[in-house]
């Protein structure tokens, strides 16, 4: 069984100021998504589903199909691609949208856009985050081991200290789990940064406490999830309840942690998979030079071929 990779690529990146998903950061014009696709293929994934917006789908799809035309899976078969759009009005029948609302409904809504094209265990990632080779291997192995499972999911947990930006504070969901590494909660923290004393501080958005010292070894979510196909039906029902309660609001969004939390409270399980990989990405424009340098270093060390695709 070859799992599927679902790439969330519909966002514009308000802090970064542009379409990060198309930004060329590698030594031969590679994007962050290019590296994720490469790592996923090496980890045994067989299909990539992109969630995009309609206004840039044509350009995006043309670029992707041309770039990956010669990519083969580990079994020698061509890598399969599917493109699905996320739009504000793609919601269950019978629910009304506030006419002043402009943005779609968030990451869990984006994942639901793929419910008709994914029938196998699948991973979810952001299109503008570099997750590292080990993370895809860990998640790919988990997905293959749960090919026939239901009601169990996974989240890849990164050490908080491996996910910081040098250009400003970041928001991270810190994972809380039991002795069996089963997720109990994801608590959002804001303005996380390493300060002059070498310690990591952040604000807890749940209880309102600010400038808390955080443990850099704690595992946090970078929106890298593993799901079995039964996730879609359950998430769809949760989304309908969400719309019934929040459908008239202008900015409320249906996020993956919210959907998973509802499922866990209903008896499902979500396993936390630890990784030593170091995340990096372009949260801010000021992050770009450092990311370019890191990709050049990975290329120089031979960790990735250059160019990545031929």
pLDDT (tens digit per residue) in 188-240: 999 999 999 999 999 998 888 899 999 999 999 999 999 999 999 999 999 99
More confident residue, 273 or 306: 273
Question: 170-177 and 219-227: which strand pairing?
Answer: antiparallel
Residues 181-194, mean pLDDT to the nearest whole number: 94
Structural domain includes residue 51: yes
Q: Would 224 be classed as within a structural domain?
A: yes
Token pair for 192? 């996380």
Gyration radius from the chain CA atoms: 19
Position 181 in a domain: yes
Q: State the angle between helix axes of 133-145 and 32-42 in degrees (0 to 180), rounded to the nearest 10.
A: 50
Asked if residue 309 is part of any domain, the answer here is no
Q: Of the ranges 56-65, 96-105, 119-128, which is most confident?
A: 119-128
- Confidence category of residue 20, pLDDT binned at 50, 70, 90: low
How far apart (Å, rounded) are the C-alpha atoms in residues 138 and 123? 11
Q: What CATH number has the domain bearing residue 195?
A: 3.90.550.10
Domain that holds residue 8: 4-300
Give a yes or no: residue 241 inside a domain. Answer: yes
Total-model pTM:
0.92
- Residue 64's pLDDT is what? 86
- The total number of structural domains that make up the chain: 1
**Residue 307, in any domain of the structure:** no
Assigned domain for 80 exists: yes
In a domain, 159, yes or no: yes
Query: Closest Cα partner for 92 from 257, 264, 238?
Result: 238
Q: Which pLDDT does position 13 carry in this prediction?
A: 43
């Amino acid at each position: 069984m070859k799992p599927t990779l679902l790439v969330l690529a519909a966002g514009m990146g308000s802090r970064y100021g542009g379409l990060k998903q198309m930004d060329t950061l590698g030594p031969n014009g590679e994007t962050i998504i290019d590296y994720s696709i490469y790592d996923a293929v090496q980890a045994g994934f067989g299909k990539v589903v992109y969630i995009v917006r309609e206004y840039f789908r044509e350009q995006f799809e043309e670029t992707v199909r041309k770039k990956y035309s010669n990519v083969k899976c580990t079994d020698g078969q061509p890598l399969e691609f599917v493109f699905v759009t996320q739009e504000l009005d793609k919601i269950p029948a019978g629910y009304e949208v506030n006419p002043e609302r402009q943005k779609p409904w968030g990451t869990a809504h984006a994942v639901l856009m793929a419910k008709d094209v994914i029938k196998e265990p699948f991973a979810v990632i952001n299109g503008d985050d570099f997750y590292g080779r080990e993370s895809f291997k860990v998640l790919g192995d988990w997905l293959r081991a749960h090919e026939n499972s239901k009601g169990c999911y996974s989240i890849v947990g990164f050490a908080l200290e491996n996910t910081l930006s040098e250009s400003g504070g970041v928001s991270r969901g810190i994972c809380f789990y039991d002795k069996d590494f089963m997720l109990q909660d994801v608590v959002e923290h804001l303005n996380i940064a390493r300060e002059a004393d070498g310690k990591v501080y952040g604000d807890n958005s749940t209880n309102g406490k600010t400038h808390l010292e955080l443990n850099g070894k704690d595992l946090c979510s970078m929106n890298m999830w593993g799901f079995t196909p039964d996730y879609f039906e359950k998430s769809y029902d949760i989304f309908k309840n969400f719309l019934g309660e929040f459908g008239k609001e202008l900015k409320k969004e249906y996020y993956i942690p919210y959907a998973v939390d509802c499922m866990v409270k209903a008896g499902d399980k979500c396993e936390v998979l630890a990784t030593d990989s170091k995340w990096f990405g372009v949260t801010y424009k000021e992050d770009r030079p450092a990311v370019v340098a890191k990709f050049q270093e990975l290329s120089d060390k031979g960790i990735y071929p250059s160019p990545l695709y031929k």
